């Protein structure tokens, strides 16, 4: 496992993050244990996952294993219909209680509401930083324009600003949002991340099974709607070429592509079993060159 530095987080953060939305009971302990044993230490969580069961399960596992101080928790709150500044405090309190901790390492707004002045969100988040309940904050599914506005307001009040962003990013480019209010990293987003070194925690970093080799007709219709395009199929074919070269699976090349970006990326994966986890983590060991990344994107040049 490789690790990176996220500002305000004292631990080195594993570059591959385990999504916990599917962790609903003690049956998930084996997956969490295997991830920790593989060198992973960063869990992606959210107030809405499983109606709270995910956070309760993760909290029970942390307590039983006694590993809270070894783990980085990325939490999220203010998901619609409660995407408003006044929901942040109460939801954070509930998340902390479920997880059995007094703070979250990274706290993200799960969505944005452009109708709400950005300074109101930032002021609520800065208050939680001062209270010690979160180490740093950011947004999930936020536009670059709103992130910049948030950072500008934070600078005016001598605050932190956005440390992290969690928008969709993968080798397969979506042609439309997966769900209402979802935002993907575009060219402007890439430039912002590279210039500011903001940590990206991309969700659906392997495009929901698009690179698995399964017949698209058998996959989630939402996945097909968002990613099954001629351009993305060509990218998948090129990824298969590099997979043979590196002796790994195609999905490993998809993950390696995200890790090879010129900005700090911590892709979130969502394996449903320890076997799927082991397969996914093989992508962490692949080091793609800039030429290989360009070839994956466009087919131009020589990989």
Chain-centre distance for alpha carbon 79: 15
pTM as predicted = 0.94
Percent of the chain at pLDDT > 90 equals: 87
**219, pLDDT greater than 80:** no
Q: Which CATH class is domain 3-298?
A: alpha beta
What SS3 class is residue 117?
Answer: coil
Q: What is the pLDDT of residue 209?
A: 80
Assign 303 a pLDDT band (cuts: 50, 70, 90). Answer: confident
Per the structure block, which two tokens stand in for 169?
């990013």
For 274, residues 6+ apart whose C-beta sits below 8 A from its C-beta are 30, 31, 34
Q: What is the pLDDT of residue 278?
A: 93
Domain spans in the chain, listed from the N-terminal domain onward: 3-298
| Mean pLDDT to the nearest integer, 107-132 | 97
**216, pLDDT greater than 70:** no
Chain-centre distance for alpha carbon 183: 12
What SS3 class is residue 208?
Answer: helix
* pLDDT tens, residue by residue, 25-37: 999 999 999 999 9
Q: What is the pLDDT of residue 195?
A: 96
**173, pLDDT greater than 90:** yes
What is the pLDDT of the chain when averaged over all its residues? 94
- Look up residue 39 and give its DSSP letter: T
């Amino acid at each position: 496992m490789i690790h990176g530095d996220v500002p305000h987080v004292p631990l080195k953060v594993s570059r591959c993050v385990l999504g916990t939305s599917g962790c609903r009971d003690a049956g998930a302990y084996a997956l969490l244990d295997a991830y920790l044993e593989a060198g992973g230490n960063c869990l992606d969580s959210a107030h809405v996952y499983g109606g709270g069961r995910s956070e309760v399960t993760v909290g029970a596992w942390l307590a039983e294993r006694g590993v809270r101080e070894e783990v980085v928790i990325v939490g999220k709150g203010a998901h619609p219909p409660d995407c408003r500044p006044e929901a942040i405090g109460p939801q954070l309190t509930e998340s902390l209680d479920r997880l059995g901790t007094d703070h979250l390492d990274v706290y993200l707004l799960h969505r944005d509401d452009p109708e709400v002045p950005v300074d109101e969100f930032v002021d609520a988040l800065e208050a939680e930083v001062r209270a010690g309940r979160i180490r740093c904050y950011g947004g999930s599914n936020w536009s670059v324009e709103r992130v910049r506005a948030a950072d500008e307001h934070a600078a005016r009040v001598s605050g932190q600003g956005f440390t992290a962003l969690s928008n969709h990013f993968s080798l397969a480019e979506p042609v439309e949002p997966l769900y209402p209010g979802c935002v993907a990293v575009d060219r402007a987003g890439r430039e912002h991340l590279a210039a500011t070194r903001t940590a990206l925690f991309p969700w659906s970093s392997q495009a929901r099974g698009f690179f698995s080799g399964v017949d698209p007709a058998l996959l989630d219709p939402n996945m097909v709607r968002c990613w099954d395009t001629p351009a993305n199929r060509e990218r998948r074919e090129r990824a298969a070429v590099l997979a043979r070269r590196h002796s790994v699976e195609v999905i490993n090349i998809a993950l390696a592509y995200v890790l090879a970006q010129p900005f700090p990326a911590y892709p979130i994966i969502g394996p449903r079993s320890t076997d799927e986890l082991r397969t996914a983590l093989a992508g962490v060991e692949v080091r793609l060159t800039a030429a290989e990344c360009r070839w994956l994107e466009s087919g131009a040049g020589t990989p």
